[in-house]
Amino acid sequence: SSWWKSVEPAPTDPILGVTEAFLADPSPDKVNVGVGAYRDDNGKPVVLDCVREAERRIAGSSFMEYLPMGGSVKMVEETLKLAYGENSELIIDKRIAAVQSLSGTGACRLFADFQKRFHPDSQIYIPAPTWSNHHNIWRDADVPQRTYHYYHPETKGLDFAGLMDDIKNAPNGSFFLLHACAHNPTGVDPTEEQWKEISYQFKVKGHFPFFDMAYQGFASGDPEKDAKAIRIFLEDGHQIGISQSYAKNMGLYGQRVGCLSLLCEDEKQAVAVKSQLQQLARPMYSNPPLHGAAIVSTILGDADLKKLWLKEVKVMADRIIGMRTALKENLEKLGSPLSWEHITNQIGMFCYSGMTPEQVDRSTNEFHIYMTRNGRISMAGVTTGNVGYLANAIHEVTK
Ligand code: PLP
C-alpha cells in the first residue's frame, strides 16, 4: 500500500545471512563455520545439563507475574558477582547500578541510549574490527562512532602500539568500548600486562571503559580468568560499565538474558542511575522476560548446579581449544607453507583466519564452507568429523 511505498528491503545481516545461505545449500559436504553458537563434536546445538536441571526445578512455577522493571534481583546479584568478584566490596557497598537486560545486545543498546541521554555530545570509540552489530547499536542510539586500532593484519595479533596511540590521542574523557575477553571477530585479546598499561592510560586520559563481556568462561574455560581485564580496571579505581550475556556461556541464546551494570561513586548515585536505566527501558519493553532469569538464578544460587555449570563451560571451551590445535595440525600436515600459529594463539569462539573475501568465496563455491567474508571461522562449528575437510579447503584456497 502507499504508506510504505518508500521502504526498500534492508541489507542482509552479514552474520545471519551466512546461515541462510548454508541452509539453502543441498550439498552433503557443507560446513557452517559462520554461526556464533556452540556446537558439540557432532555439530549439534547443546542444552547444558545444569540448564535442564534448573528447568526441571522451576517447572510448574506458579509465578508468572511481571518482573520488576530492573529484572530479577537475584539473577542480577549473582551476575554481578561473576563480573566484579564473589566478595566484591563494590557489591556490598551497593555502588553498582544494574538491571537485567535483553542479553548482551540489549545491555549494549541500553547503555548506548543512556550515554546519549546523559552525555548527548559524546562519541564512542569502537575497536577495528568489531562485532558488526556494535556499529548498528551506537548508530541507532545516535552516538557518533570513531574506531581505534586493534588488529594487526600482518601478525594476526594485537596492534598494541596503534591501540595505545589512539587511547592517547582521543580527547580526554572519551567513551571506549572494550571486549572484556575473546574479542569478536579476531580472537585476539591483550595480555595481562597490556591490559594494565591500557588501564593506566585510561586513567591518565580520564576515559570511560565500557566492557562488552559476551564470552565470560568461554575463552579460557574459567569465568574468573576471563574477568581479569575487568578486575584490573577495578583495581585501578575506574568507574566501569559492563554488558554481560548468558547466551554463550550458559547456552541460553534464545532466552535473551543478560545484565547491564554501571559502577557509581556511591549508593546514592547508583540508585539514581538505576532509576534512569529503568526509565529508558520502560517505554521500550517495560520489563525483561522471566524464564531465562529464573534459569540463571536457579543455577548460580545453588552450589552444586553452579559447580556443574563451571564444569560444562570448561568442556565447551576445551573442545574449542582442541579444535584450534586440530585445525592447525591438519594445515601443517597438508604442507601449507603459511604460518597458522594464530589459530592457536587466538582465543574464544572465533578464529580470524586471514583469508581474503575472494578466498572465502572460493571456499564456499568450491567446498560448501560457509563463513563471513572477513575470514572469520567459528571454531564452534569445527568438529573431529569435519576438521580435515575444512583444513583441506583452506589449504586449497590459500595456496
Ligand atoms: N557482544 C559480542 C562481542 C558478541 O559477539 C555477541 C554475540 O555474538 C553479543 C555481544 C551479544 O549477544 P547476545 O545479545 O546474544 O547476548
Q: Rounded to 5 degrees, what angle do the CA atoms 146, 152, 153 make? A: 110
Ligand 1 atom, smallest distance to 349 CA: 5
Average pLDDT over residues 306-315: 98
Cα 245 to averaged position of ligand 1 atoms, centre (Å): 7
Question: pLDDT above 70 covers what percent of the chain?
Answer: 100
Cα gap 293→309, rounded to integer Å: 15
Cα 241 to averaged position of ligand 1 atoms, centre (Å): 16
The pLDDT confidence band at residue 304, using thresholds 50, 70 and 90, is very high
Other C-beta atoms closer than 10 Å to the C-beta of 60 total 6
Give the distance from CA 294 to its chain's centroid. Answer: 22
Q: Is the pLDDT of residue 190 over 90?
A: yes
Whose CA is closest to atom 2 on ligand 1? Answer: 214
Q: Is the pLDDT of residue 62 over 80?
A: no
116 catalytic, yes or no? Answer: no
The pLDDT confidence band at residue 1, using thresholds 50, 70 and 90, is low
User: Of the candidates 224, 221, 225, 262, which has an alpha carbon nearest to the alpha carbon of residue 240?
Assistant: 262
195 catalytic, yes or no? Answer: no
Whose CA is closest to atom 1 on ligand 1? Answer: 214
Q: What pLDDT is recorded for position 14?
A: 77
Average pLDDT over residues 26-52: 95
| Mean of the per-residue pLDDT values of the chain | 96
Cα 396 to averaged position of ligand 1 atoms, centre (Å): 32
Cα gap 156→151, rounded to integer Å: 7
Longest CA span, the chain: 63
Average pLDDT over residues 247-266: 98
248 catalytic, yes or no? Answer: yes
Let me know: does 113 contact 280? Beta carbons within 8 Å: yes
Whose CA is closest to atom 16 on ligand 1? Answer: 104
Claim: this prediction has a pTM higher than 0.90: yes
- Beta strand spans in the chain (E): 31-32, 96-102, 124-128, 145-149, 151-152, 157-158, 175-179, 208-213, 241-245, 257-263, 350-352, 369-370, 376-378
User: Of the candidates 213, 224, 215, which has an alpha carbon nearest to the alpha carbon of residue 248?
Assistant: 215
Q: What pLDDT is recorded for position 11?
A: 87
Q: What pLDDT is recorded for position 63?
A: 81
Cα 317 to averaged position of ligand 1 atoms, centre (Å): 17
Q: What pLDDT is recorded for position 274?
A: 98
Q: Which of 126, 186, 248 to mutate to test the pocket of ligand 1 (most atoms within 8 A of CB)?
A: 248
Cα gap 334→388, rounded to integer Å: 10
